[in-house]
Amino acid sequence: MTKKTEKSTFDKLFDTSKQNDEFEQHEAFLTQRGSSHSASTLTFKLPDQATVLPYSYLRRTDFKPKEGIVLHYAGTTVKIQGKTLLPLFEAISRQIAFFVEQNNSKYQTEEKDKIWIDKIEITDSL
């Protein structure tokens, strides 16, 4: 009897079994390929919700390796905590990241070079 595997959100949104020239999958986020492409929105996937925010409302992005990434939107703050987040910060800075997913702790790995998102916290500041 074969064990049925649960599809990740990436697999549900995008057919990752096929080579896709438009998107590039990373451990916890997706980017658009090519320097001429930029995303207009950034989707944050948490275990119990998904939130889409436009890049046009992003006022400032802070990165502190030991604390994580903080995105300051007009009226909303997004905090991303984890490890090896520099590639994600760079993708957000270039506005090519369009999907960020909080990782499931049961799949956590000890590999030091792997991007891992422990927590995404979204708060309204209005």
* Residue in 119, 124, 122 with CA at minimum distance from that of residue 67: 119
Length of the chain: 126
pLDDT of residue 9: 53
pLDDT of residue 16: 44
* Residue in 27, 8, 44, 43 with CA at minimum distance from that of residue 108: 27
pLDDT of residue 98: 86
Is residue 116 within 8 A of residue 82, CB to CB? The reply is yes
pLDDT of residue 96: 85
For each of the chain's 126 residues, which pLDDT tens digit applies? 444 555 555 455 544 444 455 566 656 666 666 656 678 899 999 988 899 999 999 999 999 999 999 999 999 999 999 999 999 999 999 888 888 998 876 655 666 678 889 999 999 976
